[in-house]
Chains A and B, each alone.
Chain A
């Protein structure tokens, strides 16, 4: 069973980090 989002994990991680500075405190 391949890992979830296998070929897209790098892109997803990059997007997650790029969004971090804009996260609402409650979010």
Chain B
């Protein structure tokens, strides 16, 4: 390729920076690329096949926004910086982690993202679950406990527990470290991927896990309630309680969801039941709610169908890889 044609080609691309929970990468996109082209390239770089859980997020006017995969990147309201910045994050959560996450990379990215949500208190977690989760996170990072290596203080620089938990007890940092280390020592023999899976199995039972909350109301000008969308369905909460829903509708209970401007409408399958109407703050919020409902519902249906050939291959490869690792782990 001549320098001239190379230069010409270079002008037809733009730079993007992708930040995942673990790493960063810089990629070049062609000017007419759609979201999907970039998303596929990122997944390829990460060697990630369970792509359906993830999305690319950017910040638009202070609001976290998901990149639309079927539209051109440069036609979306992505801040025009050089490079354009995106975060590669889990957008949808499995109903059951041990039955739906197969690749180590998928599981690892979920583990890192959920751990951050718990430590940042986006997911509220009891003190006892926080300690047990911390002990599995330590096992995943440090491997088997060895008192000669893991001496008191080895966790002093680690962020182990949510601040809310620390404030509930009169315990020094050393006392917390000691408690977590005692439980960490119990996990001897558990490999990194197993420790991360144990972490996720506990986390998925926390009430706020995988929930997307939106302020809604029953009248036009209030926002006294919350609507939660997750892998199982939609949930209605009072504004000050994100834990226990006032009412839940599983995907199987809902016939249709639609919106008109700020009004959002759920039609139940039960023809005798009344249509449920809510108002949200903006039409854009309704658009996002509808999008999350459709995608979560699609995943819900896909999981209940016979596996595609691609899915069968992913499961087979993951099984072989796990068996190989287990053998290696036992040999060591």
Q: How far is the CA of A13 from the CA of B201 in the complex (A)?
A: 17
Query: Do B127 and A5 have beta carbons less than 8 Å apart?
Result: no
Number of interface residues of B (CB under 8 A): 18
- The answer to whether residues A24 and B132 also contact, given A15-B183, A19-B127 and a CB cut-off of 8 A, is no
Question: With A5-B202, A15-B183, A18-B179 given, is the CB distance from A24 to B129 under 8 Å?
Answer: no
Query: Do A27 and B129 contact each other (CB < 8 Å), given the known contacts A4-B205, A5-B205, A18-B179?
Result: no
A interface, over-half SS = helix
Minimal beta-carbon separation of B278 from chain A (angstroms): 28
Name the A residues within 8 Å of B186 (CB-CB).
11
Bound CA span A15–B184, Å: 13
Closest CB in chain B relative to A5 CB, distance in Å: 5
Q: Evaluate contact between B170 and A15: CB separation under 8 angstroms.
A: no
- CB <8 Å contact, B168 and A24: yes
Q: Do B169 and A23 have beta carbons less than 8 Å apart? A: yes
Chain A contacts for B126, CB-based, 8 A: 12, 16
Considering the chains assembled together, what is the distance between the CA atoms of A19 and B183 in angstroms? 13
Residues of B within 8 A of A22 (CB): 169-171, 175
Interface residues of A in 1-27 (CB under 8 A from B): 4-5, 7-8, 11-13, 15-16, 18-19, 22-24, 27
Q: Given known contacts A4-B205, A18-B179, A19-B127, is B132 in contact with A11 (CB within 8 Å)?
A: yes
> Which residues of B, 113-147, contact A by the 8 Å Cβ criterion?
126-129, 131-132
**With known contacts A4-B205, A5-B205, A12–B168 Cβ distance under 8 A:** no
Confirm or deny: B61 has a beta carbon within 8 angstroms of a beta carbon on chain A. Answer: no
The closest CB in chain B to the CB of A25 belongs to B170
Q: Within 8 Å CB of A13, what residues of B?
A: 128
Whether B167 is near chain A, meaning CB under 8 Å from some CB there, is: yes
Nearest CB of A to B4, in Å: 64
Q: Complex: how many Å from CA A12 to CA B205?
A: 13
**A12-B132 contact in complex given A4-B205, A5-B205, C-beta closer than 8 Å:** yes
1/0 contact string of B151-163 vs chain A (CB within 8 Å): 0000000000000
A residues in contact with B131, CB < 8 Å: 15, 19
CB-CB under 8 A from B179, the residues of chain A are 15, 18-19
- Are B169 and A15 within 8 A (Cβ)? no
**Contact flag A27-B205 (CB < 8 Å), given A11-B132, A15-B132:** no
Minimum-distance CB pairs A-B, first 9:
A27-B168, A15-B128, A16-B128, A4-B205, A22-B169, A12-B128, A22-B171, A15-B131, A5-B205
Q: Which residues of A contact B (CB under 8 A)?
A: 4-5, 7-8, 11-13, 15-16, 18-19, 22-24, 27
Question: Can you identify 9 A-B contacts, CB atoms within 8 angstroms?
Answer: A5-B205, A11-B132, A12-B129, A15-B132, A15-B183, A18-B179, A23-B169, A24-B167, A27-B169
Additional A-B contact list (10), CB under 8 Å, known A15-B132, A19-B171, A24-B170:
A4-B205, A5-B129, A11-B183, A11-B186, A12-B126, A16-B127, A18-B179, A19-B127, A22-B175, A23-B168
